[in-house]
Amino acid sequence: MYDGIVQDLIDEFGRLPGIGPKSAQRIAFHILQTPTFDVARLSQLLGELRERVRFCEVCGNVSEQERCAICRDPRRDGTLICVVEDAKDVSAIERTREFRGLYHVLGGAISPIAGVGPDELRITQLMQRLADGTVQEVILATNPNLEGEATATYLSRLLHSLEIRVTRLASGLPVGGDLEYADEVTLGRAFEGRRSI
């Protein structure tokens, strides 16, 4: 639809997740027509991103150093490890400010359909972290879906032999949600997990 680079840029933006052709066009024109938008900075950041970002050698979280900011922080509780599928999950949990332990990023979940088995995940590294006996609880915070549950079940069996408490995040009704609109599985889980008050 457009001459050269404008269309090329729209096409490239359109390859990003959640950006359709119309949004891509809107973004390209915004960059073109907004003098205050620092396009040089965005270009530079994109150019440097993969060079500068590595993954924490301990937990697998994103980091610009060998160990991520959380693993380097001496105030974090080293007896607690929260196992998540993805580095994005670390950020989601950090926002709650509920958890002061460390993380372990698996890099995905077991999914026979997608061809992801336990060997594709950072499970060996998790077992190595647990070997010295410091960790007293492993919280399995994989997603509450088929793959996440399968991964949590696999890990809980694997950790069974160790003298470590293994927990799973609670499933139930979302806070602020409406019982009437909850799906059956979630509502069922909420009944199973009911607590005395």
Both tokens of 185, joined, read: 């599985």
The stretch near a second copy (CB under 8 A) out of 25-33, 119-127, 171-179, 182-190 is 25-33
* Beta pairing partners, 111: 116
| Residue 41 binds to a second copy (criterion: CB under 8 A) | yes
Radius of gyration over every alpha carbon of the chain, rounded to an integer in angstroms:
21
| Residue 29 binds to a second copy (criterion: CB under 8 A) | yes
| Residue 57 binds to a second copy (criterion: CB under 8 A) | no
| Residue 99 binds to a second copy (criterion: CB under 8 A) | no
The stretch near a second copy (CB under 8 A) out of 9-17, 112-120, 127-135, 139-147 is 9-17
The stretch near a second copy (CB under 8 A) out of 23-31, 98-106, 127-135, 144-152 is 23-31
Question: How many residues in total does the chain contain?
Answer: 197
Among 50, 97, 160, 195, binds a second copy (CB under 8 A): 50
Residue 159 CA from chain centroid, whole number: 21
Residue 101 identity (one-letter amino acid): G
Residues 6+ apart with CB under 8 A from 99: 80, 82, 93, 139
| Residue 114 binds to a second copy (criterion: CB under 8 A) | no
| Residue 19 binds to a second copy (criterion: CB under 8 A) | yes
User: Cα–Cα distance between 151 and 108 in angstroms, integer?
Assistant: 9
User: Cα–Cα distance between 169 and 92 in angstroms, integer?
Assistant: 14
Question: 3-state class of 44 per DSSP?
Answer: helix
User: Cα–Cα distance between 69 and 115 in angstroms, integer?
Assistant: 32
| Residue 4 binds to a second copy (criterion: CB under 8 A) | yes
Binding residues for a second copy, per CB under 8 A?
1-6, 8-9, 12-13, 15-19, 23, 25-32, 37-50, 52-53, 62-65, 68-69, 86-88, 91, 94-95
